[in-house]
Chains A and B, each alone.
Chain A
Amino acid sequence: MNRSSSWAHEAIAVFAKDWLLELRTRVALGAVVLFAVTSVVASGFALAPPSGVPAEVKAALLWVVIFFAAVAGLSRVFVVEEETRTADALRLAVSSTGVFAGKLAFNTVLMWTLCAITVPLYLLLLEAPLRNASLLVIVVLLGSTALACATTAVGAIVAKATMRGALFGVLSFPVALPPLLVVIHATKAAWLSDNAWRVAAGDLQVLSGFMLVIVPASVLVFEHIWSE
């Protein structure tokens, strides 16, 4: 087996292990989804009737809700390794790139699940306009993936420090801000603009570019975070 396929296999193994554990305990999923649902309902209450609220505000609010819900759960994959003291075993068994890829895949799927629940609920409760549904799906998919890419390595840093919960939000916000701004812009376009695809095309490119930069940077840095 050559090296490139070996880390991919390791990543799949880590991903499968983490999801099995998650489906048994449902800690990250529960925290993330409950946080998101609570904040969507709270915003619905606060803004009722939502028809008077401008779409810009709604787009920003949606992603603020998603980001902070993600903060509640995305560091879990690394924290759980430190808490159950399984990190050392994992370090011996799997290469650091394999671990990172597996955890990144876990967080990405977690983000997708979060968005699959939050976005429809949000559209329903806050009467958000829906001009271009297919574009919205792509924007949400890319945006949530970009957020996972931006914050996974930060989660690994936080797991090694004290007062993890508070720290993760503080540390991930600056790194997650570029994709957040772009995705809010694109969401607004999907809701309002008549030529939404043209408006959002640049945003989608920037989002992809961001992932192409932050993921290799994370892989390079992760080796040093992960090894003792």
Chain B
Amino acid sequence: MNRTVQILTGIWVVGVTVAAFLWLPPAEGFRSPEAARIVVFHVPCAMLTFVAFLVNAVYSWKYLRSRDPLTDSKANAAAELGMLFAILATVTGSLFAMEQWGSAWNWDPRETSIVMLMLVYAAYFVLRGAVEEKSKRARLSAAYALLAFPAMVFLIWILPRIVESLHPTNTLFSRSGLDPKYRITLWSFFAGLLAVFVWMFRLRLRVEIAEARLRRQHRRDTMPEATPAGETR
């Protein structure tokens, strides 16, 4: 991502944030209409958590096919970003719930599923920490990500059947569900966050690549004859 795109992204997200304050009307029908505007920030965060989870699963699958270490780094970067957005979605959601529903935590299906996603990410990082060898770590964590993915899809699908939800369903895409101004702001913020996501993702990869290069240099310094195997780039 070059400078221009970065600057444009910055202007875009700042613009959307300002518009959410000045242009967006308070939503009637909520306990506190002013704070209802939290949804335009909260929902995109939650959506990006799922995007990150999907990206992680795709790169995990690709890793198992190709065994390319860079693909493993991408899967890991996606998981790290997913964790960040899961935390942001949970915190903003709790603030919203406190304001509108009276308590910060209700064991609502969506709340439960985002906590489960955080648990999966946490387990993924613990697993990565528990395996020393690089290719083995990549293999095992990719396998785990691909096991957790269908389980999470299932969980998100079955939870509403078991517990009542406070969250509305199908408001994001249907015409009647959401005030058009809200829908526009929400999706604009999502687009902005998505661009920021790509930006962070690339930066995270550069860190990983620099670390790998440093390790390789170290190895070359200590053992001049050995050629590094299994660790390209």
> In their complex, do chains A and B touch, with some C-beta pair under 8 Å?
yes
- Interface positions of A from 176 to 205, Cβ below 8 Å from B: 176-178, 181-182, 185, 202
**Per-position 1/0 for A161-178, Cβ under 8 A of B:** 111000100110111111
Contact residue among A150, A160, A175, A220 (Cβ-Cβ distance under 8 Å from B136): A160
A178 B154 Cβ-Cβ under 8 A:
yes
Total residue contacts A-B, CB cutoff 8 A: 86
B151 A174 Cβ-Cβ under 8 A:
yes
Size class of the B contact interface (CB-based, 8 Å): 20 to 34
A202 to chain B: which residues have CB within 8 Å? 161
Q: Any chain A CB within 8 A of the CB of B116?
A: yes
Bound-state Cα–Cα, A224 to B143, Å: 7
**Per-position 1/0 for A213-228, Cβ under 8 A of B:** 1100110111011000
Q: Any chain B CB within 8 A of the CB of A154?
A: yes
Q: Any chain B CB within 8 A of the CB of A111?
A: no
A112 to chain B: which residues have CB within 8 Å? none
Q: Contacts A154-B147, A182-B158, A218-B147: A224 and B131 contacting too (C-beta < 8 A)?
A: no
Question: Considering only CB atoms, which chain B residue lies closest to A226 in the complex?
Answer: B143
Question: Considering only CB atoms, which chain B residue lies closest to A153 in the complex?
Answer: B147
**Per-position 1/0 for B149-168, Cβ under 8 A of A:** 11110110011011000000
What is the total number of residues of chain A having a CB less than 8 Å from a CB of chain B?
33
A154 to chain B: which residues have CB within 8 Å? 144, 147
B119 A174 Cβ-Cβ under 8 A:
yes
A222 to chain B: which residues have CB within 8 Å? 143
Bound-state Cα–Cα, A167 to B150, Å: 20
Bound-state Cα–Cα, A218 to B147, Å: 7
Among the interface residues A161, A163, A206, A222, which one has the most CB atoms of the partner chain B within 10 A?
A: A161
Bound-state Cα–Cα, A173 to B115, Å: 12
**Per-position 1/0 for B165-205, Cβ under 8 A of A:** 00000000000000000000000000000000000000000
A167 B127 Cβ-Cβ under 8 A:
yes
A170 to chain B: which residues have CB within 8 Å? 122-123, 126
B132 A214 Cβ-Cβ under 8 A:
no
A interface secondary structure, majority: helix
**Per-position 1/0 for A11-48, Cβ under 8 A of B:** 00000000000000000000000000000000000000
Q: Any chain A CB within 8 A of the CB of B64?
A: yes
A162 B123 Cβ-Cβ under 8 A:
no
B46 to chain A: which residues have CB within 8 Å? none
Question: Considering only CB atoms, which chain B residue lies closest to A227 in the complex?
Answer: B139
A225 B140 Cβ-Cβ under 8 A:
yes
Q: How far is the CB of B148 from chain A (nearest CB, A)?
A: 6
A221 B116 Cβ-Cβ under 8 A:
no
Contact residue among A174, A181, A213, A218 (Cβ-Cβ distance under 8 Å from B123): A174
Bound-state Cα–Cα, A214 to B153, Å: 11
B151 to chain A: which residues have CB within 8 Å? 150, 174-178, 214
A162 to chain B: which residues have CB within 8 Å? 130-132
Q: How far is the CB of B220 from chain A (nearest CB, A)?
A: 27
B155 A160 Cβ-Cβ under 8 A:
no
Bound-state Cα–Cα, A178 to B112, Å: 11
B119 A217 Cβ-Cβ under 8 A:
no
- Interface positions of B from 82 to 135, Cβ below 8 Å from A: 116, 119-120, 122-123, 126-127, 130-132
Interface CB pairs A-B, < 8 A, 7: A160-B140, A173-B119, A177-B155, A182-B158, A182-B162, A206-B161, A210-B154
**19 further A-B pairs in the complex, CB-CB below 8 A; given A160-B131, A161-B130, A162-B132:** A153-B143, A154-B147, A157-B143, A157-B144, A160-B136, A163-B130, A167-B127, A174-B119, A174-B151, A174-B152, A175-B147, A182-B162, A209-B154, A210-B154, A213-B154, A217-B147, A221-B143, A222-B143, A224-B139
**The 7 nearest A-B residue pairs measured at CB:** A161-B130, A221-B143, A178-B154, A175-B151, A174-B120, A178-B155, A225-B143
Which residues of B come within 8 Å of A, CB atoms?
64, 116, 119-120, 122-123, 126-127, 130-132, 136, 139-140, 142-144, 146-152, 154-155, 158-159, 161-162
